[in-house]
Structure 1
Amino acid sequence: MKSPEQPTAEPACADRAYRSLSGIAAGVLLLALTGLIGGDALVRGEGLTPWVALAGLLMLVPLIVAFTVRPAVFANDDRLRIRNPFRTIVLPWRTVAHVRAVYSSEVLTEDGTKYQLWAVPVSLRQRKAAARRRSRAAAADSGIGTGQGGVPAAGGASHMAPGGRTIAELRELSERAAHRPTATGEPQVRWAYEIVGPVLVGAVALLVLLAVG
């Protein structure tokens, strides 16, 4: 007789991913435009032009990817992983002191180190619009937690800017993980050599070509 199949173990904590969709869209457009211009120079250029175009593409494409497509934040019950343009930072939640959004979104660690969250942009315009929505909701609220017709008034999260909602979710995860034994460890920082390497090679090649041209 065949033994019954063992159930597949589910991951203990799945990552939540946060990205800037507008940043990704802008990056795709910039990559298309850069590829169009650079490809034309490669095909139709004469003399050193194709080589200059190649060096420029080698430098520009990773930079565009770094600042638009690459930034992301991944969070689960144990740790926060921040993928910024040139670095990836892994922070166990118990090393995080505060998550905040002032003029930029950032994380402060217990030792005072600050890391920006490139994937969570702060929009002052969206903040003002969210504040107006909260004011209107407060004015319509009867003061006992219900709106017209006995329907509960809209929650605070629905009147927050997208970046504010993300920061609030990250704060909640941080607070819940404050006493988790699996949320401990040392912060880890790794440079994105797959981005930095091509950018440096392309920049050096471009300088040499321009110098000899």
Structure 2
Amino acid sequence: MTSPDDDHSSSAPREPEPPEEPQYADRVFRSSGGIVGGVLLLALGAWLGGDALVRGEGRTPWLALAGLLCLVPVVVAFTLRPAVFAGADRLRVRNPFRTITLPWSCVEGVRAGYSSEVLAGGATYQLWAIPVSLRQRKRAARQQSRAAAEDPFGRTSAHTRGGDVELRAPADQIIDDLRELAEDNASREAAQGEPEVRWAFEVLAPAVAGAVLLAVLFLVG
């Protein structure tokens, strides 16, 4: 037998749960030139190294193996590995030998001079995946001058950030986007924290092992 209080408590309306924040996929930035160069270098290394391994005599196969073990990770580190992941909560920078995770609250600035950099926690980290091209900047400056001469009152879409044409160098445009993300998301609860730096031992270990093996082979003679 239930009491009136029990009936009242069971029929009381529940408070609505707060809506969950939408989850957004990270934006990924890479250097297309670096990827193409890395693939070509790896193909060349595989051709030369494979030929030395198969047809070489004496110490040649061992030298080829040690050279590949040392050089392949380095090529991958500087060409294929660099990437920048920008999400709602943090910026993750994957450089050749380190991965830096930066919650937006600790990002103090993002800039592009002769190289792209992010300032956080009193330190400066380079963005290897966003190389600065002075040639692209000069081309963008010429396009801006030409557009200004053709339309001095700025009535065309090329003069507006949200228009159809953005007369900006790609690296500078990406830096502007990252700066805007930092400003918009720094106050988010999930974007609080301190910088975290992790060394890429999966790259360093085989490169060091290959270098040591090369040194031993040369010393032994």
Deviation at 1:87, TM superposition (A): 0.5
Q: TM-score, normalised by structure 1?
A: 0.89
Tell me which residue corresponds to 1:137. 147
**One-letter identity of the residue aligned with 1:208:** V
Q: Are the aligned partners of 2:98 and 2:199 in contact in 1 as well (CA < 8 Å)? A: yes
Q: CA deviation at 1:140?
A: 2.3
Q: Does the residue aligned with 1:159 lie in a helix, a strand or coil?
A: coil
Superposed CA deviations along residues 113-167 of structure 1, whole A, max 9, x for unmatched, are 0000000000111111111111122222242x413xxxx3443471111111111
Aligned residues: 199
Distance 2:62 2:22 in 1: 48
Residue 201 of structure 1 corresponds to which residue in structure 2? 209
Pairing 1:189–2:200 present: no
Between the aligned partners of 2:150 and 2:99, the Cα distance in structure 1 is 45
The question of whether the paired residues in 1 share the 8 Å contact of 2:140 and 2:167 is answered with: yes
1:210 and 2:218 correspond: yes
Residue number among 148, 152, 158 corresponding to 2:166 in the alignment: 158
Matches of 2:176 and 2:132, distance apart in 1: 13
TM-score when scaled to structure 2? 0.86
Identity of aligned residues (%): 63
Q: Report the counterpart of residue 67 of structure 2 in structure 1.
A: 56
Q: CA RMSD in A?
A: 1.6
Aligned to 2:134: 124
Question: 1:87 aligned to 2:98?
Answer: yes
Residue 103 (1) aligns with residue 103 (2): no
CA–CA separation in structure 2 for the residues paired with 1:184 and 1:178: 7
Q: Post-superposition shift, 1:11?
A: 6.2
The superposition leaves residues 19-77 of structure 1 with CA deviations (integer Å, 9 ceiling, x where unpaired) of 00110000000000011111111011111110010000000000000000000000011
Partner SS, residue 181 of structure 2:
helix
Q: Which amino acid aligns with 1:135?
A: S
**One-letter amino acid matched to 2:49:** G
Structure 2: stretches of 5+ with no match in the other structure: 1-19
- Specify whether residues 10 and 61 from structure 1 end up closer, same or farther in structure 2 by C-alpha distance, changes over 3 A only: farther
Counterpart CA distance in 2 for 1:183 and 1:45 is: 55
- Determine which of 66, 69, 77 is the counterpart of 2:77: 66
Q: Which whole-Å CA distance do the structure 2 matches of 1:35 and 1:77 have between them?
A: 40
Q: Distance in 2 between matches of 1:105 and 1:70?
A: 17
Structure 2 counterpart of 1:32? 43
Q: Secondary structure at the match of 2:166?
A: helix
